[in-house]
Structure 1
Amino acid sequence: MAVVFRWLLRLASLAVALIVIGVALAYYLGSRSLPDYDKTLPVAGITADIEIVRDNSAVPHIMALSDRDAFFGLGYVHAQDRLWQLMMMRRTAQGRLSELFGRRTLRTDTLLRRLDIYTAAKASVEHQDARTLDALEAYSAGINARIAEINANSLGRGAPEFFLFEAEIAPWQPADSLAVIKLMALQLSGQIGDEVLRARTSLLLGDEQRLSDILPDMPGSGVAALPRVAQLPQGSGTRQASAAPVGGDFLWPVPRRGLAGASNVWAAAPERSASGGTLLANDPHLGFTAPTFWYLARMQLKSGGVIGASIPGIPALMVGRSEQLAWGITSSYLDDQDLYFEELNPDAQGEYRTPDGFKPFETRQSIIRIKGEAPVTLNLLWTDNGPILPASQFNLDKITPPGHLVSLAWTALSHQDTSASAAIGLMMSQSVEEAMEVSRLYVAPSQNLTLIDADTVALKLVGAMPRRDPAHESLGRLPSRGWIAANRWQGIFPFSANPEFLAPEGGIVGNTNNKLVDRAFPDHVSYNWGDSQRVQRWQTMMQGRKVHTRDSFVEAQLDTVSPAARTLLPLIGRDLWYTSEAAPEGTPERRRQRALDLLANWNGEMNEHMPEPLLYSAWLRALQARLIRDDLGPLAEEFDHVEPLFIERVFRDVDGASAWCDVIRSATVESCTDIARLALDDALIWIEEHSGKALESLRWGDEHLATHEHPVLGQVPILRYFVNIRQTTSGGDHTLQRGVTSGRGPNPFANVHGAGYRGVYDFADPDSSVFVSATGQSGHPLSRHYDDLGQLWRRGEYIPMSLDVGLARAASVGITRLVKP
């Protein structure tokens, strides 16, 4: 027995030793790719030495004597900190993920090959202006210099992920950057899904009025520029009635409904600023990842210093400021996509119907290589309207008639896309007027661009706005017949037709993805907007004081009060507050009374430490499910986020909307009060099964975890604990500090989409401006800068956003000098 024990002990010791050695080896190999910020490196392709000072948050301050060298430096630091992210974005745009991940990403590759955005990017290179071409080439050279350094010095392949996935790193090219811009346009757009969902819902309901309930049009005339404070009617801005009562697969790049691009931005003119200088606050919203999409940087250009947030792969600061200008963006929700049914010729294969008769598809074959399997050959098809989409994607097979295919018209498919020239020109602009002029070059993605200089504030919708025929049979809201001439695009509106708000009288402009303007079709901009709630709170906070400061803009950015909760709770609970009979402890009735007592005294603040936000959110989620489940059947699963306008219409009985409360399949006629009570019980049962805690002990933050997942390794056992970042957060779907919930799965209230970047710029004292990102600068899980900004972001704190390189140098974590050999 002793012998057996000794051998077991030896084997166990050997196993432990092997594990320790394996972990040590993995750490050693992984740490080889940790970037060294303090070095001197000879590189080819620069005209003079470049100095890159890393401040204590690892934000690079790129000091160069020429613009070309500054863009070289930006490419180098992007590759130094985010090489894996760069390569993944390029592979996604090219439709080449399956070479690494096998069949799991075939669906994604198939879509990107059919959209063919990489070909459009290559064709667009020659349409950039001279300074942009120079910047693209220099930026590419900077990335390639880092790749050459990794290969020459055996620096762990540049990122730990490359040890897990055999991937050759091809040199970066200018077309790669343009393809990344187009990929971002895809990730920010949701019009395809909206058209398909509207079509599917209309087929089920068959009632135009009920369709208007569940997919409501945004009410009101639109908000962008606010009036003078003195001109506001008494009590306005405190509450605005929403309506008069009067998949994704692995690495799938298309957002689910409710998770397309979003953002907040607002600006104040000198007369609305306590310090007499203009102010701007911006927080763009994207899906959370680890690391975040955003990368903070400062560049020294001939036009002066610029500082802000870039996206790895794109040689520009997409948001930020210079000494003379600051700019911020929000998703415009411009309707820049249309789906078309293309009728096949029953008598001739390979032809589709046009206004002038049948004609052949434009065709090309494309081969997708799949790791461990035989390659797949796609037969790509194009029509006059655009590429043919796979019937198996976007639920197109559920709405496409027999003998038809579906094509897509989309501005981002342009082969003459000059958006990169616009982004780089914007960085170099010296005034609002100059920035507005260069913004003519934007094509896609469309954004609301907010600008300030020393004296002026402005907001302009930028990007190509499709011109539709007034006789369009679906107004662009549903897939339409592609062979009808009136349904086809009639070109692009002139830039002057894009909504513009320049130096408004009230001194405040802003956007929360809300409706900008109320125009008749075809000048309408969009029928689908991203917000009907946050804008109410924004108006209140902007008009609640005559003048603003940097700190008041920060306060608005971090505000967690839900106007939706303040509007809806009095409606759905009006017949339930304090009306039930006394019930003994432990009964469902007593638990319901306790929940209603908590909610009755709640002010709508979605604070992570409070139970009420979870009670409210679970109740509303259960309520919407009960209202629509019997009418829509399985399609109800697609409505996985609460639509406040729908709930309000139902409980105010707008145009008979209370009909949703009656359960069609039951003999009893249910009232809205009945459904509200049943939904509250549903919510309380879910909470008890999910948490098991007393209601008073619940914490919204325990469910509303900001979920920054590594896109590839985030679900791998053991590794996910090292690469994913979890943070308890306040806010919700409809607060200015927006944290959109997942809406499905075992954790429907996980925070998966929000402000990956926040910045507030004060031109009274520019160097007092502040910014922060949601994770950290590095994409390397072993780096202390992988998540060091995350806790600041979670607590609503910022770091200085100064152009003073001396401040960065005083607390630097390293200085890199790129020198001519």
Structure 2
Amino acid sequence: MKRFKKILKVILIIVILLVAGIWLYTRTLHPTYDGELELAHLNDEVTVYFDDYGVPHINAKNQTDAYRALGYVHAQDRLWQMELIRRIAPGRLSEVLGEKLVEVDMFFSGLGITEDANKAIAKLDKNDKPYQYTKAYLDGINQFIENGPTPVEFLLLGVKKEKYTIEDVYNVFGYMSFSFAMAQKTDPLLTEIKEKLGVEYLKELDIPIYEDTAILKNEKNPELKAATAKAMSKIYENLPVSPFIGSNSWVIGADKTKNGKVIFANDPHIGFSQPSVWYQSHIKTPDYEMYGYNLALTPFALLGHNRNYAYGLTMFENDDIDFYFEENNPENENEYKTPTGYQKYELLRKTIKIKDKPDTTFQVKVSQHGPIMNDLLNEVRSERPVAMQWIYTKLDNRILDVAYQMSHAGSLDDFKAGASLLHAPGLNIMYGDANNNIAWFASGKLYKYRDSLNTKLILNGADGKDEILEYLDFEQNPQAINPNWNYVYSANNQPDSIAGILYPGYYLPEDRGYRIEQLLEEKNDWTSEDVQKMIFDVTSPIVVKNIENMVASLDTNDFYENEQKALETLNEWNGEYAKEKNAPTIYTRFLYEFLKNTYKDEMGDAFPEFLSTHLMKKVIAVQLARGESVWWDDVTTDQKETKKEIIQTSFKNTVAFLEKQLGANVADWSWNKVASVEHGHALAAGGEMLRNTFNVGPFNMDGGNEVINNQLFKLDSTGYYKVHAGPSTRRVIDFSNVENSMSILPTGQSGNVFSDHYDDQAQKYLNGEFVKMLLNQGEIEKSKNILIFKKK
């Protein structure tokens, strides 16, 4: 017995020592938030105050030192995020995550982002401040790589750390630009609808603009395959980094606020992930100050404010990608037809390195329009080569200058000059300042084709008739400066006419724009607190109109009790997506049944891809309001169905489905039973233990698709709505009290799982709460954690 007790004691001691050792080791992996560190190449000492939420307030005597310090602190919180995002454009994800990412790597490496980056970098003036500050920022990151602890993700996957270069910065900008685009999902689908179903079907998907719509002022029935659209959905599903999706912003002029100063609001909608996309930082030097939000590997804040001005962005959603059918030379497949004869494709050889597997090599053909997509997406089996023309790689890239000038503007005119340099991605850039100026600029290089050309279809690349005829001057872009209605806003909705046309794009429906206008028009005494409440608003007035159109087609004579209760629930609903409400569950399931019964018989395998487009969201209200439609008829039956039959069947199917899913009591069908959000880490796919360690959530939440608090989920057959994107930050800046401006992140500031700031904002975000963005130096200097960078 004594011997057994001794063995137990030894085992216990070993376990204690092992636990203690692991604990001590993990302590070495924490970010350094206080103390002193040496940093090479500094001109002077830099002091960094970390506030209660881990935001670094960098006090330096010059901007070069400030950006070097920013690089270091950004890397210690977000190096793994930097590593993943820099690998997307050159096609290097498979190197660390394995062969499941090969198709993603092939696609992105073939887009020409890295080639475009090298061209842009070669043209940079190496003595300009944007270049010098970027190099300092990268030096700070590289010094962390050399001297700081290795993040646990690198250790778990066996990833070797590599120094960062300015090419990585441009590759991030390139990925960001491409992820905004919607053409790659929509154009191939619409082309198939036209070619296989006919023009009549296509016309009804070309959503008209009505007078009362909220716009930004200024062969018979074959099965569709939609291979390109399906391939693009697969690419995005496999990406371990958040894509950019939508956004809201509004700026309220002084005459509409209680205190007579501008109030600025912005919440960009981006795919949820852990860590969250934005890194907050506050730089202060004798000649510069900016409280900013940076993407991984971007030195200059893309969202920001100081005491003088605030700026932010939403996605423009303009059409800046076009597809072309090329015509190969029948005698030589390496040549394609042009109006002046056959030209040779540019041939690029690409190699993808794959973890634990041999490398794979492939060839990309590039025409005058761009890379041939057949070479990049396995699903594209078209006999006709399909080229992708993208304005981002077609014109000179000055995106580093754009970010620098917007974050260093001395006036509204300076800011506008910076915004005018952007050619892609298309962004609505929002502005407000302490001098009571407000402005909105739809930035991006816009262009015109011949009249009546539908650029949402795949164009003819051979005859020369479908080429760009004219690039528009920035002054022709949609914009508003100090308008007499005293506010500007953007919710990714259709802008007013541009150069005499409604500019083509992949705009989102009017729901959020309509609600923003509705709320802003109601009062002229806005406060910061009012705007904070508004940015968390979850009510859709458009939903109420949709339900009215639905109910008008229902025959309730044979409704049984639960069908009657479900209908009463919808009729009493004001469109509020609160988690305890039952109506959102009923309405969202009805939408799926309605869209399925309307479109799936004709679209076949393409239907899931249709559900992933902005087009699907735009068609809902229009189709519910229609009396006649070619889409109503179910082509799989002998009889011809009507709108009433489609809606009646859809509603009855909705109730039957929810009874099976959630039980017989309609009162139990609350939104929180079916809708949830979880912020996923790239390692979570490795198993439940990694998921529980690295993911944040799951949570129930208020909000839904296309309300101001936009919680985006995929509409599918499951009846469960896993939110995959939403407000990546919420910011409210009140120039009457700028030192008490507020913001929030979805999870936390740090991407280091051992940091206290990994998820310390998550619950506040869900509750609609905010955290102060400190500008007051006295408050900042009370920070508990102070890190001093000494000259090495």
Kindly provide the CA deviation profile for residues 696-721 of structure 1, in whole angstroms up to 9, marking residues without a partner as x: 12321332212211133255222101
Conserved 8 A contact 2:247-2:269:
yes
Kindly provide the CA deviation profile for residues 525-551 of structure 1, in whole angstroms up to 9, marking residues without a partner as x: 324212321111111101011232212
Residue identity matched to 1:564: I
Does 2:536 match 1:536? no
Alignment partner of 1:564: what SS? helix
Q: 1:493 to 1:757 in 2, by over 3 A?
A: same
TM-score (norm 1): 0.88
Conserved 8 A contact 1:108-1:251:
no
Q: 1:450 to 1:388 in 2, by over 3 A?
A: same
Aligned to 2:223: none
Q: 1:634 to 1:142 in 2, by over 3 A?
A: same
- Picking from 436, 440, 459, the partner of 2:416 is 436
Does 2:75 match 1:79? yes
Kindly provide the CA deviation profile for residues 142-174 of structure 1, in whole angstroms up to 9, marking residues without a partner as x: 101111112xxxx2x1x1111121222211112
Q: How does 1:51-200 map to 2 (within 5 A)?
A: 51-128=47-124, 130-150=128-148, 155=149, 157=150, 159-200=151-192
Kindly provide the CA deviation profile for residues 103-144 of structure 1, in whole angstroms up to 9, marking residues without a partner as x: 111011101211131221122124445111011101101101
Conserved 8 A contact 1:291-1:775:
yes
Residue identity matched to 2:465: A
Q: 1:645 to 1:193 in 2, by over 3 A?
A: closer
Conserved 8 A contact 1:225-1:508:
no
Does 2:578 match 1:617? no
Q: Distance in 1 between matches of 2:241 and 2:40?
A: 40
Alignment partner of 2:351: what SS? strand
Q: Distance in 1 between matches of 2:449 and 2:553?
A: 49
Q: 1:303 to 1:326 in 2, by over 3 A?
A: farther
Alignment partner of 1:413: what SS? helix
Does 2:605 match 1:634? yes
Aligned to 2:761: 789
Conserved 8 A contact 1:100-1:165:
yes
Aligned to 1:567: 545
Residue identity matched to 2:770: Y
1:446, distance to aligned residue in structure 2 (A): 1.6
- Picking from 615, 623, 648, the partner of 1:650 is 623
Q: Distance in 1 between matches of 2:661 and 2:623?
A: 29
Does 2:350 match 1:366? yes
Q: Distance in 2 between matches of 1:711 and 1:16?
A: 35
Aligned to 2:400: 420
Aligned to 1:546: 524
Q: Which runs of 5+ in 2 are unaligned?
A: 219-232
Aligned to 1:458: 439
Conserved 8 A contact 1:196-1:396:
no
Conserved 8 A contact 2:251-2:489:
yes
Conserved 8 A contact 1:732-1:739:
yes
Kindly provide the CA deviation profile for residues 17-38 of structure 1, in whole angstroms up to 9, marking residues without a partner as x: 9998877666554443211201
Q: 1:482 to 1:375 in 2, by over 3 A?
A: same
Aligned to 2:426: 446
**Higher deviation after alignment, 689-698 or 602-611:** 689-698
Residue identity matched to 1:495: F
1:406, distance to aligned residue in structure 2 (A): 1.6
Does 2:262 match 1:278? yes
Q: 1:619 to 1:475 in 2, by over 3 A?
A: closer
Aligned to 1:202: 194
Aligned to 1:241: none
Does 2:361 match 1:377? yes
Kindly provide the CA deviation profile for residues 250-278 of structure 1, in whole angstroms up to 9, marking residues without a partner as x: 8744999xx85200000111111111111
Residue identity matched to 2:406: L
Q: Distance in 2 between matches of 1:683 and 1:501?
A: 44
Conserved 8 A contact 1:332-1:448:
yes
Does 2:504 match 1:526? yes
Alignment partner of 2:425: what SS? coil
Aligned to 2:658: 687
Q: Which runs of 5+ in 1 are unaligned?
A: 228-246, 584-588
- Picking from 727, 737, 743, the partner of 1:771 is 743
1:311, distance to aligned residue in structure 2 (A): 0.9
**Higher deviation after alignment, 39-48 or 475-484:** 475-484
1:640, distance to aligned residue in structure 2 (A): 2.2
Conserved 8 A contact 1:773-1:793:
yes
Conserved 8 A contact 1:284-1:757:
yes
Alignment partner of 2:368: what SS? coil
Aligned to 1:46: 42
Q: 1:682 to 1:509 in 2, by over 3 A?
A: same
Alignment partner of 2:513: what SS? helix
Q: Distance in 2 between matches of 1:219 and 1:95?
A: 43
**Higher deviation after alignment, 639-648 or 568-577:** 639-648
1:486, distance to aligned residue in structure 2 (A): 2.6
1:457, distance to aligned residue in structure 2 (A): 0.7
Conserved 8 A contact 1:283-1:757:
yes
Number of paired residues? 771
Residue identity matched to 1:347: E
Aligned to 1:557: 535
Conserved 8 A contact 2:363-2:375:
no
Residue identity matched to 2:594: L
Alignment partner of 2:98: what SS? helix
1:757, distance to aligned residue in structure 2 (A): 0.5
TM-score (norm 2): 0.91
- Picking from 612, 633, 636, the partner of 1:662 is 633
Task: State the percentage of identical aligned residues.
Answer: 24
Conserved 8 A contact 1:385-1:488:
no
Conserved 8 A contact 2:739-2:774:
yes
**Higher deviation after alignment, 51-60 or 108-117:** 108-117
Conserved 8 A contact 2:364-2:375:
no
**Higher deviation after alignment, 691-700 or 718-727:** 691-700
Conserved 8 A contact 1:425-1:435:
yes
